[in-house]
Structures are given as C-alpha cells and as structure tokens.
Structure 1
Amino acid sequence: MHTRRRLLGLALASATLAACTTTPTAPAAPSPKLLVLVVIDGLPMRQVTGYRDQLAPDGFARFLERGRWFSDAHYGHGHTVTAAGHSVMLSGAYPQRSGIISNEWRDPATGAPVYNTGDAAYTYLDNPTAPLSGTSPRSLKVETLGDVLRTRSPESKVIGISGKDRGAILPAGHKGTAYMYMGETGQFSSSTYYMTALPAWVKDFNAGKPADAFFKKTWAPLLPESAYARSVPDGQTWQVASGNGNRLPAVMGDKMDAPGPRFYGNLLASPFGDELTLAFARAAVTNEQLGQRGVQDILSVSLSSHDYVNHAFGPESRLSHDHTLHLDRHLQAFFQFLDKEVGAGNYVLALTADHGFTDTPEWAATQGRDAGRFASAPSLALVNAALSAKFGVDKLARDFSAAGLLLNEPLAAERGLKFADVQAAARDELLKLPGVEAVFTREQLLGSDTTTPYLAQMRKSFDPTRAAQLQIVLKPNWIHSYRPGGSSHGSPHRYDTHVPLLFWGPTYVGQGEEKARVEIADLAPTLAGVAGLPAPAQAQGRDLRLAPAAR
C-alpha cells in the first residue's frame, strides 16, 4: 500500500509539473521505474558526431535519431578530470562544492597525497587493497540523486558500476552501492563501506572468470581500412606501445602464458574492457531486479576503456576511432537487453562523459598548432630555485597538486616571510614556463571577478580547504604529461569540456537536437524532474526539460 501511494504521488507530481509549463517535452506519464546513466570515460562530443555515418542503428544512434540530445553541452569547471566529472553528473554540484577537485591532490596543511575516494577505514572484498585505493565516498561533500531517492524510498536500489573505483563510487553517492573492476584479478568487487560480503550473484559472476575469456582474443578493426581515412594511422612514434601495443589487430595477452595481473590491467585499454563491464551490469540488472520490483531504481555504468585508449593513442588515432565503433555496438546490445529485461517504456537512458580529450601534442604540432607537454618535476625545480634565490629558503613550493602549485605556507610563516610575496613570486615564475597560459591566486579564486578569461571555470574547480593556492591553466594544445607519448585532458578549453549529453525515453524526455549551450551540472536536476524527485541540495544546474534556452 505504501508503494502504491508513493507511485501515485510521483505521478501526480509529474502531472502538476507538466501543467505548469508549455514545454512540449515535459513528461505526461508516471515516473520511470529505472534511471540508467551511461558514462563513457574520456569521450569528446566530436567523436560521437564525427563518426555518425558509421554508427550502428541502436547504439549512439538511439539518442541521435530517436532521443533528445544537446549538441553543445559542457562542463563548467576548469580542471576536467575523471573524478571531478563523475562527481558532477548526479550531484549537479561543481568541485567548489563537492570537494572532488581532482583524481588526487595533496593535503594543503601537510603535503600528504590524497585520493578522491580513498578511505583507509574500508577495504576491498576478496581482493587486495593497496594504499590510497578508492573504497568510499567519504570525500564527497554533497548528496547525489541516488541519495535523494534512497532517503525518500529506502527500498530503492542505487548501483554504480565501473572499470575505475571513482567511476563507480562517486555516481553511487553515499547511500548507493558501488562495484568496480579489480585490475589485479579480473574480478568485480566492492568495499566494506557498502557490505560485509559480496552477494552470491557477484561471487558467481567472478567464479566464471569472465575476464579470462578474452585471453588471446584479437582486437581487430571493425570496418575496412578505407573507413578510417579521417583518423591518424597506427604505429606513430607518439602512440604508447606498451600494454597491448599500438597497432591493430592486437592480441590480448600476447606473449603471455596465462592470464595474470598484467593481462587483467591491459584488458581495460581495449573494447573487451567495456564488454566485460556491461556483462557485469547485465548481471546486476537481472539479479537485483532493477526497475522490476515496483519501486524506482538508479543504475550508473561508467565505461572506462575509451579513456585508456585515448590516453595511450590520442583521440585523433585510428585506434580511438575504431574503439568508438566497437563501443557503439556494445551499447546497442546493452540497450536492447534493457528493452527486454526492464521494458522499453519503463526506463530512461542518459549518456554523458566525464571529460573530453586533447589531441596528442606531437600530432597537433604537425597540423601547425602550438602544442607541447608541461613536465611537472623540472618545472617544480625551476620554481623552487627561483624562490630560493629570492627569499633564501629552499622548497617553498611543495609540489603540483591537482590543477595547481601547492606552496608551503607554514614554512613561509616559520621563516618570517609574507605569504602574499611568496605567492606573487611563484606566480611570476610559473608564467615564465613554456605552455602556461594563466595562473590564478587564492584571492582571485575567492573573489568576484567575472571578466578575466578562465577564472570563472577555475573558480568552480577550487575548494579552498583542499586546493593549491595557485591554479594553473595551460595554453591550448598543451597537456600535463608524465611520459613521452599519448595524450591527456584537464583544461578549461573546449576540447576538454565539450562532451555528450544524450537522453532517450521519449515519453519522459522528448526528442530532437537542442543546440543551446548547456552544462553537465544540468543532468542531475533534469533526471530529478523526470523521476519526480527534488534536485540534490547543492545542485548548480537546472531541469533542461523546462529551460533549454542558452545561458
């Protein structure tokens, strides 16, 4: 009886919302039984539309041809990395509020390393737990849509699944359950934050050793060679050749005698990593009866492989192009599974990415662009040498931390130095380094200036309790790099902020392309509206069904 009253209330809420607006895409039906968020780690929007003529009929095309999609969707924060993006999606809150400023950072007080989902109080189940492993959402300062749902409906289920711990934990929020791929064992596991033992269905899934089924399998191009003329050929000197090599076809576990940690880790940098993750997602839908129990549920599936591929080979590469097409076919199969298992009219799909990607600098240089790699260690040494010469104190700069340079404020105070002087001098030295576009001080980031380029974006990435005092923006086509090859992301430039924002579920979200500029912070309020729920408390976005106009 309680469930019937709740569903009736949600239906009335949707009807009232529809009556208050003239927007033709406002929902006129009861809320969906299941909300499904699919995240493609490291997928720029330009790759979705750039290969549109080669897509399968029911993968990405389901959204582009029969869904509602926003062709100019961006992240509003400046440090565009995996954890930050995943924290925004279902909270609607930028890192300035969520505290998830990066994948990792250094504690401003001590300089100690911090991992975004690290929590030493918890361990992985049936798997080793290395220091700084992602085991809980403790560092996430805000609630997610799943937290809102489970507060109102404790019997609802919120499940996050990913090849990366942060890709599972952050969308699942504080009250959901996260399952992540274990690169040492090829299993999916969770942590003691969520449960004391894995469910029987997870143990059964792992007992079947599904990762081992890909041992010696070949990643071969999906289409004839001529179909890849728009992409950069394999085997370039800047494409990382470790892992599975940098040419197709590539054999998984080549020159290995048996599956082991190196094989399981390398599997993620191939189409088979996504295939395995989606197989686990299917098992979760079936065994947890998601969307099939008379209450509303949320499933988040973050597919990590594209990020690994783009890091190794660059988004301009034939390998990335082909990986996108394989991914598209895997999505098609997953969506058709949901149609049968949950019912095509019973769920809503949303698809986005956590960040875009920069072209490999060496490739960009061949196209006449100013491009390069910003190396942290030598840059830190140069800044410290200059500060030491000026102030007579060594190591006033601790290290680079997230998007910034962390200065040793306690040391400056101990030596009687004015911190403002140290900060200004460090800023001046950073601006002399090749590839640096802008450097913002803590005072600028906490101020109200809205006209200086990049400042508003970097402000949304800045939590003063966790971030370095100086925040750095590199020039376009420059990347932070720790190795001589591959590419990266993390800037406020368009190629890193412009990602897909796609919806399917015509009864609930409507159809057609929207060309107005929107932000990924709008995703959580939009799904909240679809579900008949209030938006998460710290959300900074809006319901796109009601306000699609440009900002």
Structure 2
Amino acid sequence: MHRSRLVSFVLAPLALCIGLWPSVQAAPSAPPPRLLVLVAIDGLPMRKVLQWQDRFGPDGFRRFLDHGRVYREAHYRHAHTVTGAGHATMMTGAYPQRSGIVGNEWLSPDSLQNVYCTEDRAHAYLAGGPTAPDAGTSPKNLQAETVGDVLIAARPGAKVFGVSGKDRGAILPVGHRGVAYMYRTESGVFTSSTHYMAAHPAWVNAFNARRPADAYWGQVWTPLLPESATAGLAPDAQPWMGSAGYGNRLPATMGAHQTEPGPRYYTDLLTSPFGDALTLDFARALVREEDLGQDAVPDILTVSLSAHDYISHTFGPESRLTHEHLLQLDRLLGAFFQDLDRWVGRHHVAIALTADHGFSESPEWRQHQGQAAQRFPMAAALSALNGHLRERFGLARAVVGSSTNGLVFDEANLRAQGLAPQAVFDAAAAFLRGIDGVVEVNTRADLASTAPPRPDQVFLAAQRLGWHPDRSPPVVVTLAEGWIASGRATGATHGSPYRYDQHVPILLWGPRWWARATEIDTPVQVVDIAPTLAQVLGLRPPASSQGQVLPGAAPRAHKVPPRAKLAMGR
C-alpha cells in the first residue's frame, strides 16, 4: 500500500473517534475560489429538477447537471421544513435544535409573544419606508456561526454578502459577520439595516434611484412552452389556486388592474420571474461595485431567489405557472453565471445550489391524482382541544396558540392552578391522536429526551432535530402525508417531515474543485453543505455544524470521466 494511503487508513478511525476528521481533510488540493456563491432557490423540490431537466437551457441548471456534482438524494432531516429553518441550516451546518431558528416565526413558550426569526427591534431598515417591529433586520436570533463567519474570522479581508427577496433569505445564510440586502415589497427597493451599516454605499442609492422594479411595469410574463406541451400539469385558473394581482393564468401582465406601481405591484413581482431577475440584477451590481472575487482572499455571495416559493404557495407546485417559472429561472441563472465567468473568471468561481425546503402539491390536486390529502382545520382542532381540557382540568383556555407545527400553553397559569404542565401535555396529546389526519403527537418529555424513539414514534427523530427547548412548543403534531394545516381554501404549502418537503437539490460546480458530470445517489443532508464549502475554502467547519463533507466533494486535482457515477457509503 502506498505510504500516504497507509497513513490515512490508520489515522481515519482515530480521527473520527475524536472528532478531528473534518479539520484533517480541510487543506484543499487547489487554491480556494476567489468567489464562492451559494444560490438558494426558495421552495424547489429536487423532483422538479429531475423531472424537467430535459427542458432546461444550455447553462443554468445544466451547468451543474452536465459539468458538476449532482446529489440526487439530498434531504433535510428536521420536521418543520420552512424558509427560516432551511436558510439557517445551509451555511451553519446546524439543525434548528442548534441554530435556534425553529421556523419563520414562533410563539415563545415563556413570554407567549410572537418572535420573527430575524427580527431585532434595536435596528431599522435604511430605505423603503417604515420598519415594522417584527421586520427582519439582523441575525440576532441565530445561535450558530456560518461559513462566512468562519471565513471573516480567519481572513479579515474577506467579504461576505447576502441578497434575497426575503429578509430571512438574505440574513440567515451570511450569519453574524456578513452584510445582508433584502427587497422591500412596500417600495420595490433593496435595503440593508442599521445592524450592518449607518448608511448605504453610494452604489446602492444609485441602484435604487433608477427604480429598476418599476421597469417591469406592464411587462408580460409569457410562457416559454405552449399549453399543449404541459400535459400532466394542472392547467391555469383551477378552483383551488389563489390569485396574484395579475390573476392566475398565463400570459400575465405586471401591474394589471392597477393604476401605478405600489405595494401590490411590488409584491406581485416576487410572484413572477421578474422578481428573480430583479434580485439577480442587484447581485450583479453588488459583485461589480464591491469588487467581489478580485483578489486571492476568498469572498462569499449568497443569493436566495424567492419567486418559486411564492408562486408555488399561490398556484401549487403542480401548476403550469410553477413549471414555467422554473424554465424562466433556468435562463436567468445561466445569464448570471456567465456574467460571473466574465467578471471573476471561470476558474476562480465555485457555485453551490440548494433549496430551503420542498413543497407538497395542493390537496385537491393530490385527490385528483387518486392520493389521500386534506386541508387540516387547525383552528377547529384547537377549539375542540381547549374544550376538552376545560372539561377535564377546569381551564378556561389551556392552549394559547399554535407554533411551528405545535401547540403552546400558558404554563405559568397551569402551575398557578396546581397542575403539572406535563400532565396537561399528555392529555392534549391523547386527545389530538384521536383527530382524523393526525398520525403522531410528541410532547416535551419525549422531545427533550435522548432515549431511542419507540416503534410508534416514527417522526420523533425529525421533530427532535427541529426542536429547541427555549423556542419550540411542548406539544408537536405530525399530520398524515398529503394533509396540510391551512386556514385557506386555496394554495399549497410545506413544513412536513415527508419526502416532498425534505428532498431538495444539492448541486456543485467549480472546475478547479469538483470533478465534472458526476451523479451521486448516496443519501446526504443539507447540513453537509457547510463543512463541504468550508473545506474548499481551507477553513474549519462552523462550530455547531452537524454535517460532514459531501461524498466525492473533496477538492481534487484530477479529472473524472464524464457521467461518472459514485455509490459511496455514508
């Protein structure tokens, strides 16, 4: 055996035992990229990428599919699969149990006050109008460091920026040391907050002064494919679909039925390909004006594109509109990547693409396909539960609200009434298990325990990964597959521990770091992205990371034959 291989063979078990293996592997075989880009497609299931790959253009997604690494079985493993939790996971490598970002918002079990994941009332937006108390202005609630935080600590000259149509999509991936810019639907501008700076750079003011969002007024979202080419998709304007300001069918005119640009129009842009185009234009300006990737000190740019999520929520991921958006997005990504090639250099850029969660089809569409599905009436269930607890314990209102797929109780009042909170939780769980559509209920006693799940606790492991003792509810509910908790009669959603919500893309491209055209079927997790990108940058993984370097993603100095297929154990 070659000596270097013998040393690795001997040291690997010891390194794994004492937790040093990521740092042992941390030295890349190629210099780090000058610009590392993370692209997050909000609400994109991997099944969509695989299903429609033959309709993509020559670049965009095909850059990864034809010239990069494709992880076909990448998953989140926490149960409450939503935007905030997913974006916090990507670059920390930490599940919500460690990052503290248990959802987009949560009802505090102690204060009984609602908390937005990126709110910080000590700070305000720099542009675009007044700042609401629960607006996303800082990473204060994020309890883990990101790859960007590690990079800036190790290389003080490094720059880390995040851009998104959503505040949480911009703030959470860049962490505590980076700078976030987010789009404001009230005014159609991009802004940062006083957490990051006292005033915008001149280039941001100049970008906003051009009113680029207004340039899409009157533009038409025209489908790339004729309706006859979309067999198998839900046609436009189905009864279960919601409606944007432009309606719910294509072609659609931006600003239709409105007299001038305003909040309705600026919101509609994010429910169309034009919202992603605008976000990428701001990202382009940022790359140029901040000189990203122009020296040997690595920089990081995270770009979270929000439109796919909004479109899927409104019309359903099964809709023709969602499919058409994915094709338009593919073209937009291709143009953006080509600009990065020109400005930074094709061999100086590394790109990772993933999603914050998948999506369930609308219940009505699933029923149309012969699959079980329903809209779960959460408000009615809570009312019935409170009635049951009133009869049993004499409590006027035991459950004060729902939070992150669970229920929050006024525990101080329970104790004041001489009741043990866990006894009330157990009674609530027993009642909920008898409601149609509920398949599992876990209480704090199980969620806080490290004991192996019982055979009947199928989803407990996933619930534990997403459960934080100070922020999560003491009772969590898992609905049946295909059921969604919804107070509306239209649209679709996500947030479950099922494959359609957990299975997302992980795609890597970078000719100097990853072999080309390689598909990997080994199951991997989104928490693996952070240690992988840290390794490419020659860094230690973020401190709270629960992942490992993706199989086959260690930087290599040699080429792999086209369409190589790896089957590697985890």
The reply to whether TM is greater than 0.5 is yes
Secondary structure at the aligned position of 1:73 is classed as strand
Q: Does the 8 Å contact 1:27/1:509 carry over to 2?
A: no
Q: Counterparts in 2 of 1:225-374, with a 5 A limit?
A: 225-374=227-376
Q: For residue 27 of structure 1, report the CA deviation from its aligned partner.
A: 5.0
Q: Evaluate the alpha carbon distance shift between residue 397 and residue 550 of structure 1 in structure 2; reply closer, same or farther with a 3 A threshold.
A: farther
Letter in structure 1 aligned against 2:417: R
2:245/2:256 contact within 8 Å kept: no
Q: Provide runs of 4+ in structure 1 moved above 3 Å.
A: 546-551
1:528 is matched with: 534
Write the distance in 1 (CA, Å) between the matches of 2:189 and 2:479: 38
Q: How far does residue 162 in structure 1 lie from its aligned partner after superposition?
A: 0.2
Corresponding residue of 1:77: 78
SS in 1 for 2:504: coil
Distance 2:542 2:244 in 1: 42
Could you tell me how far apart the structure 1 residues matched to 2:401 and 2:257 are?
A: 39
1:87 maps to amino acid: A
Q: Is the counterpart of residue 111 in structure 1 residue 112 in structure 2? A: yes
Of residues 160, 163, 167, the one that matches 1:161 is 163
Give the 5 Å matches for 1:48-197. Answer: 48-127=49-128, 128-197=130-199
Tell me what 1:449 maps to. 452
Shift of 1:96: 0.1
CA distance in 1 between counterparts of 2:227 and 2:411 reads 56
8 Å Cα contact 1:309-1:320 kept in structure 2: yes
- Return the letter of the residue paired with 2:521: K
One-letter amino acid matched to 2:568: A
State the shift of 1:539 in Å: 0.1
Deviation at 1:106, TM superposition (A): 0.6
Partner Cα separation in structure 2 for residue 87 and residue 509 of structure 1: 25
The Cα shift of 1:155 comes to 1.5
Partner Cα separation in structure 1 for residue 548 and residue 465 of structure 2: 16
Segments of structure 2 that go 5 or more residues without pairing to the other structure are: 1-20, 555-565
Instruction: State the Cα RMSD in Å.
Output: 1.7
Question: Please, what TM-score do these two structures have when normalized by structure 2?
Answer: 0.91
CA distance in 2, matches of 1:338, 1:344: 7
- Aligned to 1:432, the other structure's residue is in SS state coil
Query: 1:518·1:550 contact (CA, 8 Å) conserved in 2?
Result: no
Counterpart secondary structure, 1:180: strand
What are the within-5 Å matches in structure 2 for residues 18-33 of structure 1? 27-33=28-34
Name the aligned partner's letter for residue 472 of structure 1.
Answer: V
Q: 1:548 Cα deviation (Å)? A: 7.8
State the 1:380 CA deviation. Answer: 1.3
Q: Which residue of 1 aligns with 2:522?
A: 516
TM-score (norm 1): 0.94
Pairwise CA distance, 1:429: 1.9
Matches within 5 A, 1:462-501: 462-501=467-506
Residue 522 of structure 1 aligns to which amino acid in structure 2? D
Tell me the secondary structure at the aligned position of residue 330 of structure 2.
helix
CA–CA distance in structure 2, aligned partners of residues 436 and 185 of structure 1:
42
Q: Retained in 1: the 8 A contact 2:127–2:189?
A: no
Contact 2:94/2:546 (CA < 8 Å) preserved in 1?
A: yes
Letter in 2 for 1:449: P
Q: Tell me, what secondary structure is at the counterpart of 2:198?
A: coil
| Matched AA of 1:467 | S
1:109 shift after superposition: 1.1
AA aligned to 1:292 is Q
State the AA in 2 paired with 1:122. H
Aligned counterparts of 1:199 and 1:403: Cα–Cα separation in 2: 41
User: Post-superposition shift, 1:203?
Assistant: 0.5
Could you tell me whether the CA contact under 8 Å between 2:28 and 2:538 is conserved in 1? no
Question: In structure 2, what is the equivalent of residue 10 of structure 1?
Answer: none
Other-structure match for 1:502: 507
The structural deviation recorded for 1:42 is: 0.2
- Give the CA deviation at 1:506: 2.5
Asked if the contact 1:122–1:193 (Cα under 8 Å) also holds between the matched residues in 2, the reply is yes
Deviation at 1:264, TM superposition (A): 0.5
Whole-angstrom distance in 2 between the partners of 1:196 and 1:490:
36
Residues of 1 paired with 2:177 and 2:194: CA distance?
13
Unaligned runs of 5+ in 1: 1-16
My pick for the range that moved more, 235-244 or 73-82, is: 235-244
Task: Give the whole-Å Cα distance in 2 for the aligned partners of 1:496 and 1:189.
Answer: 30
Counterpart-to-counterpart distance in 2, 1:463 and 1:539? 16
